[in-house]
Amino acid sequence: MSFSHRLAVVALTTLLAACQRAAAHRPPSPGPSAVTAPVDGRVEVRVDDQGYHPATIRSAAGRSLTLVFRRADALNCGEKVKFPSMGNLERDLPVGQAVEVAVIVPASGELAFTCGMGMYRGSVMAQ
């Protein structure tokens, strides 16, 4: 085995061990998968390696909400949040910082949001 191959094996082994340690120390994903928006219209959304928490937010049609996204760590796909039906509105989600996004609950159906790669999915649903 060449030196570069051995170096690659060592690097991958080290990276795998670090990921396993991080996963072992990561707290479980908090909260329910669906909530009804509170009276003040402010909904905290945690972003972690399992996606959005809550992933579904229910509220009355036409109501203004403020979604407050907080990315738990860099070990997930949540660098960005996108709202395709809002003119592809996109916001960066720096780790540990609150990022507010004002939305209007649709008259019917849902307002979808995703991570930058479309792997994490969430929605605001009219009820």
Per-residue b or e along 74-86, where b marks 16 or more CB atoms closer than 10 Å to that residue's CB: eebbbebbbbeee
Q: Side by side, which strands form the sheet with 110-115?
A: 34-36, 56-59, 121-126, 110-115, 80-83, 89-92
CA 52 to chain centre: 4
pLDDT in tens, 39-60: 999 999 999 999 999 999 999 9
> What is the rounded CA–CA span in Å between residue 42 and residue 64?
9
pLDDT in tens, 59-102: 999 999 999 999 999 988 899 999 999 998 999 999 999 999 99
pLDDT in tens, 5-25: 665 454 445 544 544 554 444
Token pair of 100, please? 């507010």
Q: Side by side, which strands form the sheet with 64-71?
A: 51-53, 42-48, 64-71, 98-104
Tell me the domain boundaries of the chain.
29-126
CATH number for 29-126 (one of 1.10.10.10, 3.30.572.10, 2.60.40.420, 1.10.287.3240): it is 2.60.40.420
CA 83 to chain centre: 12
